[in-house]
Amino acid sequence: MILAVESSCDDTSVALVDMTGALFFHRSLSQNDLHAPFGGVVPELASRTHSERLPFLVEQAFSETGLSLEQVSAAALTVGPGLSGGLLAAISFLKGLCWAKNIPMVPVHHIRAHLRVALDPSLEIPRESLGLVVSGGHTHLYRIREWPDLDLVGQTTDDAAGEAFDKGAKVLGLPYPGGPEIEKQASLWTGPLIKFVRGINTRNSFDFSFSGLKTAFVGHIRQTGTDPSKTPQLAASYQSAIVSHLTDRIGKALEAFHPPSLLVGGGVAANLHFRSELEILCEEKGIPLYMAPRPLCGDNAVMVALTGLELFRAGRGVMSPYDEIRPRPRWDED
Ligand code: KG4
Ligand code: ZN
């Protein structure tokens, strides 16, 4: 078995898979309620909560499946990119556990894990594919030279797409995290949409930018007020603006690179409007599209388990609990 832990942001998640990737256990504890009053993730609160919950979740994984630590061949864990306190919580906890039982550890790159579950993990990711991760911390477009090597070809110059959803929701008085709330409100509207911005300029044509849209949205609401009856139209218009900017830039990248496939993951990839616009775009361009299944779009330990399993089988990056395993909060840049 592979025991896997994800704690890079505000979800504490544990999974157990066997050597074929079959899932035996998966549970995630969200910290949304804890961070909601602050309108975003508070790193110190997140790391403390991971430390409290991890032992409890791992205990449940074994007691509920009847499996034991003796059956674990390796422990996979996200070590970056992410919030260093949360990463350290998992590293410290698993180091103790693995040291006691002499279990190898497999550090996992969070972004690769998001992309790995876009395509069935038993299938190879085609060389030169493009990979997009859209979440609360990332709006990053990669050229996958040869899996798992990623070249960054575009990124947000300001807010991440998920952050843009969260900030827009806050202005509308909707709870955190805002993406699913905006999506819910938007689904109630079928009428005309409000256009907040005309074109979004970035120096690199594969980059993304959401701050101008957010400013225009806030400006519009200041002028017109936040009458709750207007929320569905505002949410639908804002969602449409975010999605059309994403698909515009992805479309440009597809034309420039002609990749053999596009892989998409991250919390925002759960958005149904985004998914259907991506399907239309990829169909138009004749490029196979692989999106993470909706329940695996947000942060979860299943993606860590499957990425860790692939590394373990290939003998890549396997470490001992005695080795220096440190948080790599900016792993995508160092
Ligand atoms: O991947 P994720 O769970 O955590 C990070 O690594 O950031 O992504 C969380 C982000 C949040 O900003 C949340 O608002 C957004 O993903 N999100 C969505 C949806 N579900 C989650 N955004 C738009 N539509 C959704 N259905
Ligand atoms: Zn993530």
Helix locations, 199-300, DSSP H: 211-224, 231-257, 272-285
Query: pLDDT of 242-258, one tens digit each?
Result: 999 999 999 999 999 99
Q: For residues 107 and 160, state if they share a domain.
A: no
Name the domain count of the chain.
2
Instruction: Please indicate, yes or no, whether residues 214 and 174 belong to a single structural domain of this protein.
Output: yes
Examine the pLDDT at 198 and tell me if it is beyond 80. Answer: no
- Ligand having the closest approach to the CA of 136: 1
Nearest CA to ligand 1 atom 21: 267
- Whether pLDDT at 292 is above 80: yes
CA distance 320 to 148: 21
| 240 and 290 housed in the same domain | yes
85 lines ligand 1 (CB under 6 A): no
Residue 268 identity (one-letter amino acid) = V
Confidence band for 197, pLDDT divided at 50, 70 and 90:
confident
**Is residue 231 domain-shared with residue 155, that is, in the same domain?**
yes
User: Does 330 map to a domain?
Assistant: no
Show the domain range for 22. 2-115+300-314
What pLDDT is stored for residue 40 in this prediction?
79
Q: In this structure, how many other beta carbons lie within 10 angstroms of the beta carbon of residue 192?
A: 9
**Ligand 1 pocket, 310 CB below 6 A?**
no
Ligand 1 proximity of 166 Cβ (cutoff 6 Å)? yes
Q: Are residues 79 and 142 in the same domain?
A: no
| pLDDT tens track for 33-82 | 999 888 778 999 999 999 999 999 999 999 999 999 999 999 999 999 99
DSSP secondary structure string for all residues of 7-24 = -SSSEEEEEEE-TT--EE
pLDDT tens track for 321-334: 999 999 999 987 65
Q: Is residue 260 part of a domain?
A: yes
Characterise 133 by phi-psi region: left (phi > 0), alpha (psi -120 to 50), beta (else): beta
Q: Please give the distance, rounded to the nearest whole angstrom, from the Cα atom of residue 200 to the centre of ligand 1.
A: 22
- Is 331 within a domain? no
Residues 229 and 310 in one domain: no
* 283 backbone dihedrals φ, ψ, rounded to 5°: -65, -45
**What local confidence, expressed as pLDDT, does residue 333 receive?**
64
Instruction: Judge if 81 and 226 occupy the same domain.
Output: no
pTM here is 0.95
pLDDT at residue 327 in the model: 96
Assess whether 288 and 148 both reside in one domain: yes
Residues of the chain above pLDDT 90, percent: 91
Distance CA 44, CA 46 (A): 5
Atom 3 of ligand 1, nearest CA residue: 298
CATH code of the domain containing 85: 3.30.420.40
The rounded mean pLDDT for the chain is 95
- 222 Cα to the center of ligand 2, angstroms: 32
- Give the burial string for 116-151 (b: 16+ CB within 10 Å, else e): bbbbebeeebbeebbbbbbbbbbbbbbbbeebbebe
Ligand nearest to the Cα of 168, by number = 1
